[in-house]
Structures are given as structure tokens and as C-alpha cells.
């Protein structure tokens, strides 16, 4: 969960907008949701942040449909509701086709050579507005203040060459908050998750992203995976117009980029992998089907904590830090067997 000040205000503003659209007073919504008016006021102003159950309770109280409910969850820093993929598959979301296509592409990439897999990923990312992408490894400086992070780009990809050259020429990597976020975060993020409305940026940082717009780069998505040596492998995507708050866009971007990272990394040979027990195989199959840990826990009747522990153990056995990466690696090396 992300709990920064910008996240607080995004959730509060969205909730207040929904309430006002229904012509509800704070008191009426507080009574409907079973919370105190003071607490609701704190939530809308950004002084407090809700728990996941509180988000769902408030979403129900304002009559939010599934897509809006998930927007509230994302604004509060939580994963979308478990049934999201089922809603999209049944035609309840306008981006059903790109998301389903993304999952199919990610699975097909595992059997392709690297250059073919990258070419396969390109149209799937373009479907959600990510026109350019490149992969590389970011290594932090030996000590704070000793220099900029070292960034080594992979030869494969469809990078925005002009913007990257401009970025390197002016030494922006030493001041770029997205580079810092890539090193610090363990989960994929859209630029706006880090940058917000740019009000918290320094003048120098704002200048970087103002110049990016001159190259038709307005936003982007980064999928980082921490390596055991402390460096971070990442796929960085850029575009002009992306629905970054749309849950299906987030899922599609993540699944494609994680599949690419799995191809870029030199995965161990099959002999180095353990045999997965049936529960682990089921867990990974559900992940490949777009399910999250909340859904798995609910449908298996297991405590969320137990499912999270199983996920950590599976990741450890496969030598990865991300469950989706583990699922794709297991699929690539035929460790999942038959359903």
C-alpha cells in the first residue's frame, strides 16, 4: 500500500466528488456508511487514510459501480477488488480486449526468442497508450551523494531515442524522481503515482518533465524487479495519453512488462528449479489468470496472511521477488503441469 500525502488527497477528492454528485451531505454519507462525520471529514480532506474495508464501505454508500470502486481503491493505495477481471471478461469494462490480449501475449512471449518477444509486446503496450519502452538495469551509487545511479540499457526495445539522448546529455538521471522511485520501490508504478500533480517537485524536477512534454512524453509506467546484487532490473514505458487510474490499464501494463523482464533476465536452467507442490501450482495458475491474493484467499477459504506467506515461499523457491514473475517463469519452464 502506498501512503503518501498525495495519495491521501487523491482519495479524499474522489470520494468528495462522488458524494457531491449524489447531492449527499457529509452527515448523510457518514450515517449511510456507519462512520463518524468527523472521521469522514478527515478522509475527504486527506488528514486520514482509510483501511481497505472502509474504502469498500464508502464505495457502497455512494453507490459506486465496480470500475469506480476500483478507482477509489487505487487512489487509497490498494489493489483492485478481486472480481475485477471477471467483470472485464463479461464485458463490464471498455478495456476488456486489451487486458485479455495482454495476458495472452505475456504467456506466448515465454516460448519466443527475445527479439520476437519484444516485438510481440509492442502492440499490446500500444493498446493501452504506452508507445515507447526500453529495459535496463539501474545500480545505486556506492554511497549517497557519490554520483548518479548507473543505468545500463538493453539493446532490445523501442525506446524514445531523442528523449533518452536529451536526458543523458543534461545529466537528468541524478535528479530524476522516477529513477529514485525505480530503485526504492518493489512494485510497478505509473509516473503519476510518484509525481502526483507536480506540486511536490523541485523547480529542477519540474523542468525535466516540462521538457519531456516537448518530446511528446507526458506520462509512463515503470516495472522494477530488485535483483540479489542490489541492482534493479526494470522496463520503462512512455506515452502521451494513458488512462493511468483505469485498473485494466494497470493490469495490462504490469503483465506485459513483467513478462519482458522475465525474458531480459538470464533465468536459471530448469534443473535448478524445485518441483512445485500442487498448492503452489494452483496459486501460480490463478496469478496467470489475473487473480490477486485477496481473491485467492476468499475463494479458497484461507486467511489472507497464509496466502501471502505461501506466495513468499513460492517466490523464494523460484528465485524471484515478484509473484507474477514467478508465475511466468514457472510457465516458461513447464513447472505448472496440467490444471
Domain ranges of the chain: 5-78, 96-264, 270-332
Q: What CATH number does the domain located at 96-264 have?
A: 3.30.450.80
* 3, 288, 299 from 296: Cα distances, Å: 25, 12, 5
Q: What CATH number does the domain located at 270-332 have?
A: 1.10.10.10
Residue 134 has pLDDT above 60, yes or no: yes
Confidence of residue 272 (pLDDT cuts 50, 70, 90): low
Residue with cell 521477488: 321
Give residue-wise pLDDT tens across range 168-212: 888 888 889 999 888 887 678 899 888 887 888 899 999 999 999
Instruction: Read off the pTM.
Output: 0.58
Residue 137 has pLDDT above 80, yes or no: yes
Nearest to 36 by CA among 23, 45, 26, 46: 26
Taking residue 38's Cβ as centre, other Cβ atoms within 10 Å add up to 11
CATH architecture of 5-78: Orthogonal Bundle (1.10)
Q: How far apart are CA 315 and CA 42, in angstroms?
A: 38
Amino acid at each position: 500500500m502506498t501512503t503518501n500525502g498525495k495519495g491521501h488527497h487523491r482519495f479524499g477528492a474522489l470520494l468528495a466528488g462522488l458524494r457531491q454528485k449524489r447531492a449527499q451531505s457529509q452527515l448523510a454519507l457518514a450515517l449511510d456508511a456507519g462512520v463518524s462525520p468527523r472521521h469522514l471529514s478527515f478522509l475527504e480532506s486527506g488528514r486520514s487514510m482509510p483501511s481497505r474495508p472502509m474504502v469498500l464501505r464508502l464505495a457502497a454508500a455512494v453507490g459506486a459501480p465496480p470500475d469506480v470502486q476500483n478507482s477509489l481503491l487505487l487512489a487509497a493505495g490498494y489493489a483492485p477488488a478481486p472480481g475485477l477481471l471477471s467483470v472485464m471478461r463479461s464485458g463490464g469494462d471498455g478495456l476488456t480486449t486489451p487486458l485479455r490480449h495482454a495476458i495472452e501475449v505475456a504467456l506466448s512471449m515465454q516460448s519466443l526468442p527475445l527479439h520476437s518477444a519484444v516485438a510481440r509486446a509492442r502492440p499490446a503496450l500500444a493498446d493501452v497508450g504506452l508507445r515507447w519502452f526500453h529495459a535496463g538495469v539501474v545500480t545505486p551509487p556506492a554511497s549517497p551523494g557519490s554520483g548518479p545511479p548507473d543505468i545500463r540499457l538493453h539493446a532490445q526495445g523501442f525506446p524514445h531515442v531523442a528523449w533518452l539522448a536529451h536526458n543523458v546529455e543534461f545529466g537528468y538521471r541524478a535528479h530524476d524522481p522516477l529513477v529514485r522511485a525505480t530503485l526504492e520501490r518493489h512494485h510497478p508504478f505509473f509516473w503519476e503515482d510518484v509525481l502526483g500533480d507536480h506540486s511536490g517537485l523541485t523547480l529542477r524536477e519540474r523542468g525535466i518533465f516540462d521538457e519531456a512534454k516537448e518530446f511528446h512524453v507526458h506520462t509512463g509506467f515503470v516495472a522494477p524487479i530488485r535483483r540479489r546484487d542490489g541492482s534493479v532490473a526494470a522496463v520503462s514505458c512512455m506515452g502521451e495519453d494513458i488512462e493511468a487510474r483505469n485498473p485494466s490499464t494497470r493490469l495490462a501494463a504490469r503483465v506485459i512488462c513483467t513478462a519482458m523482464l522475465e525474458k531480459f533476465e538470464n533465468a536459471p536452467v530448469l534443473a535448478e528449479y524445485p518441483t512445485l507442490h500442487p498448492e503452489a501450482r494452483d496459486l501460480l495458475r490463478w496469478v496467470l489468470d489475473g487473480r490477486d491474493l485477496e481473491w485467492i484467499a476468499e475463494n479458497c477459504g484461507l486467511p489472507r496472511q497464509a496466502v501471502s506467506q505461501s506466495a513468499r515461499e513460492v517466490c523464494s523457491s523460484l528465485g524471484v521477488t515478484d509473484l507474477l514473475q514467478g508465475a511466468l517463469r514457472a510457465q516458461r519452464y513447464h513447472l505448472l503441469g496440467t490444471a
